[in-house]
């Protein structure tokens, strides 16, 4: 089944491709569209509402449900806007004639610019969740932190959790969010709720992943639905889905020492990049 975001994106293409038939749009701005509008029109500069109406992004945004003009940001490519939705990054020409989905690369730097944007979106969303709404296994002084979307009944999720002491011993803190792949009103979903509603969530998660039945009843206010919705926004189609502290996604299980090596390499690369 397609996620809500994916359906919206597919519908967006047809919508945006017809915009030029209904609304003539201005050329690409050198800065933001609103800034260039105010500079060119003294009335717009004096009246922000007039500037918003004159903003060439407004005509595109009006055709895309839930989109504001400011959601359409200038991309690295002149004449193209970038629109981020969940894990999807959509590109729309500033004349409103064309839209396309795909990864945008900076060839000289060999850098996937679309994936960099996805990393930022994942990081922003996960950072908005307090650890009090996660099930956390970590050493006293962790060197690294990962966030794992897990399914109690997933075989590789169980494999990862069976080695949780090894991850922790290597300085890796593991923060769990729930992503029962079978969806609401299923056994896996109920197990996730039971884990959260148990007096000792860490112990309950460990026992559930060992296949032990939990007697705790699901309680109101648990975060399973919210975690699941976030995973859907990210278009996760499997578990475990491991999100690094920089927003990078590892779509699957990675053994402790292999994960540590990857974390060390990522950290070293970040330091080298920052020093340039």
Reduced 3-state DSSP string for the chain = CCCHHHHHHHHHHHHHHCHHHHCCCCCCCCCCHHHHHHHHCHHHHHCHHHHHHHCCHHHHHCCCCCCCHHHCEECCCCCEEEEEECCEEEEEECCCCCEEECCCEECCCCEEHHHHHHHHHHHHHHHCCCHHHCEEECCCCCCEEEEEEECCCCHHHHHHHHCHHHHHHCCEEEEEEECCCCCCCCHHHHHHHHHHCCCCHHHHHHHHHCCCCCCCCCCCCCCHHHHHHHHHHCCCCCCCEEECCCCCEECCCCCHHHHHHHHHHHHHHHHHHHHC
Catalytic residue among 88, 175, 181, 227: 181
- Does the active-site annotation cover 227? no
Q: What is the structure's pLDDT at 133?
A: 98
- Does the active-site annotation cover 88? no
pLDDT 10s digits, 42-87: 444 455 555 455 788 998 888 878 888 998 999 999 999 999 877 7
pLDDT 10s digits, 179-218: 999 999 999 999 999 999 999 999 999 999 999 999 999 9
- Does the active-site annotation cover 151? yes
pLDDT 10s digits, 114-148: 999 999 999 999 999 999 999 999 999 999 999 99
Taken in order of first residue, the domains within the chain and their CATH numbers are: 4-106 (no CATH), 131-275 (3.40.30.10)
pTM of the model: 0.75
- Does the active-site annotation cover 181? yes
Catalytic residue among 38, 154, 227, 233: 154
Catalytic residue among 157, 175, 197, 233: 157
Q: What is the structure's pLDDT at 47?
A: 56
């Amino acid at each position: 089944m397609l996620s809500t975001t994916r359906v919206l994106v597919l519908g967006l293409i047809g919508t945006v491709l017809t915009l030029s038939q209904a609304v003539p749009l201005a050329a690409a701005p050198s800065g933001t569209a609103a800034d260039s509008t105010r500079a060119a029109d003294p009335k717009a500069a004096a009246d922000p509402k007039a500037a918003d109406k004159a903003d060439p992004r407004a005509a595109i945004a009006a055709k895309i449900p839930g989109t504001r003009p400011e959601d359409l940001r200038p991309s690295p490519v002149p004449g193209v806007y970038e629109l981020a939705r969940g894990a999807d990054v959509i590109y729309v020409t500033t004349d409103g004639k064309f839209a396309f989905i795909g990864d945008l690369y900076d060839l000289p730097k060999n850098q996937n610019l679309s994936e960099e944007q996805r990393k930022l979106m994942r990081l922003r969303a996960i950072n908005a969740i307090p650890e009090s709404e996660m099930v956390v296994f970590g050493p006293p002084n962790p060197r690294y932190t990962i966030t794992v979307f897990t399914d109690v009944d997933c075989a590789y999720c169980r494999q990862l959790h069976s080695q949780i002491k090894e991850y922790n011993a290597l300085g890796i803190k593991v923060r769990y969010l729930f992503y029962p792949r079978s969806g609401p009103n299923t056994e896996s979903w109920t197990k996730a709720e039971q884990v959260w509603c148990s007096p000792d969530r860490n112990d309950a998660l460990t026992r559930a992943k060992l296949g032990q039945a939990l007697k705790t009843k699901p309680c109101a206010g648990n975060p399973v639905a919210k975690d699941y919705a976030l995973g859907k926004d990210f278009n996760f189609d499997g578990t475990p889905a491991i999100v690094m502290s920089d927003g990078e996604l590892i779509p699957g299980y990675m053994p402790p020492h292999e994960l540590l090596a990857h974390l060390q390499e990522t950290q070293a690369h970040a330091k080298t990049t920052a020093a340039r």
